[in-house]
Amino acid sequence: MPIIRVEMFKGRSREQKRELVKALTDAMVKTTGAKPEACWVVISDVEKEDWGFGGELGCDKYP
Among the options 1, 2, 8, 37, which is catalytic? 2
What phi-psi label fits residue 50: left (phi over 0), alpha (psi between -120 and 50 degrees) or beta?
alpha
Mean pLDDT, range 18-32, rounded to an integer: 98
CA distance 39 to 43: 13
Q: For residue 1, is pLDDT > 90?
A: no
User: Residue 6's CB: how many other CB atoms inside 10 A?
Assistant: 14
Strands 40-46, 3-9: parallel, antiparallel or unpaired by DSSP? parallel
Catalytic residue list contains 2: yes
For residue 30, the domain's CATH number is 3.30.429.10
List the domain range (segments joined by +) for residue 7. Answer: 3-61
Mean pLDDT, range 2-18, rounded to an integer: 97
Number of domains the chain contains? 1
Q: What is the pTM of this model?
A: 0.86
CA distance 15 to 30: 22
Percent of the chain with pLDDT over 90: 94
Where does the pLDDT of residue 63 fall: very low under 50, low under 70, confident under 90, or very high at 90 and above? Answer: confident
